[in-house]
Amino acid sequence: MLNKHVLAVLLIASLPLVGCSSSDKQSIKDGFTEIGHATRDATKATGHFFRDTTKDAIQNAKEATSD
């Protein structure tokens, strides 16, 4: 159950959005979407980097031990 302090913080945080125009709200939403897409792209690139690096390390280890 949410306590009074959490509810008060949520209420105060939501007050600026109530006063925003519709276009301002859309701009805020677009900003969060861009952040989300950038985060997704960075995560994908990082995952690919570590995947490729691991494959290279395994391949190098196999080549080094096969002699």
| pLDDT tens readout for residues 4-63 | 888 888 888 877 767 777 778 788 889 899 999 999 999 999 999 999 999 999 999 998
In a domain, 26, yes or no: yes
Does a structural domain hold residue 35?
Answer: yes
Counting the structural domains of the chain, the total is 1
Q: Please state the pTM of the whole predicted model.
A: 0.48
Rounded-to-integer distance, Cα 3 and Cα 11, Å: 13
Q: Is 55 part of any domain?
A: yes
Tell me if 54 is assigned to some domain. yes
Helix, strand, or coil (residue 54): helix
Residue 9 within a domain: no
The answer to the question of residue 60 being in a domain is yes
Q: Which domain holds residue 55?
A: 22-67
Give the per-residue pLDDT at 28. 83
Euclidean distance between CA atoms 59 and 52, whole angstroms: 10
**Residue 17 lies inside a defined structural domain of this protein:** no
- Identify whether 1 is part of a domain: no
Question: Given this model, what pLDDT does residue 43 score?
Answer: 92
